[in-house]
Structure 1
Amino acid sequence: MVLTGMLAEADWETHRPAVFGAAYRILGSVVEAEDVAQEVWLRAAGADLSEVRDLRAWLVTLAARMSYNVLKIRAGTARNLCRALAARTTADRARRFGRGARQHVRCQP
């Protein structure tokens, strides 16, 4: 396939299932996989694709990288929520039962 530098809608519709499938396998969430597929479409529509030899591979690679970024953000958010909950729980226990009753909640790294 010779690309003219722009992503045609027909090309996108051909490769969209592969993009969505890669994102879904990594993320395990239909909603997040749809978000990644939309972001891939937006990036590809604005990119110069004249030097891309295999459009499907390029789109799937982009989807995989974006999905791993989502996982990274998700893990960081979970850690921050756990730390906030742990601090709140520790403070609540200290307030209710006195300083000696502090018990720490552990968050996974």
Structure 2
Amino acid sequence: MEKLIRQAREAMRDEFMAEAIRLGATVHADGDALVAVWPEAARQTTSATLSAEGGRLVLTETATVRVPDELPDELVERFGHRAKKVCDLRRHLNMVERETGVPLLTPPDELKVVRA
């Protein structure tokens, strides 16, 4: 069973990379995690990170927004939005997960919004 989980995790990482590139992202490794970055419009850059936590895979979406310095930090979050490309990527990974029969992905986390 452990071998099956390891193979499924490796397949999921390969699929993450291939699908993210197909969707126009630049992908790089950050330690054990994979990070896909989509430079979006002038205001936001979107990234998706696939990392392992406790045997499960976590897909985290981060919106890096460019806003005026005068904007209070508590309002920055309102400017971020989920990207369709990350939703498409998650949908693809869920399909791969169903095909392998090994549930690896955790449910989606809240969108992380950070100031550029």
Greater C-alpha Rg: 1
Taking structure 1 as the reference length, what is the TM-score of the superposition?
0.31
More strand by share: 2
Taking structure 2 as the reference length, what is the TM-score of the superposition?
0.29
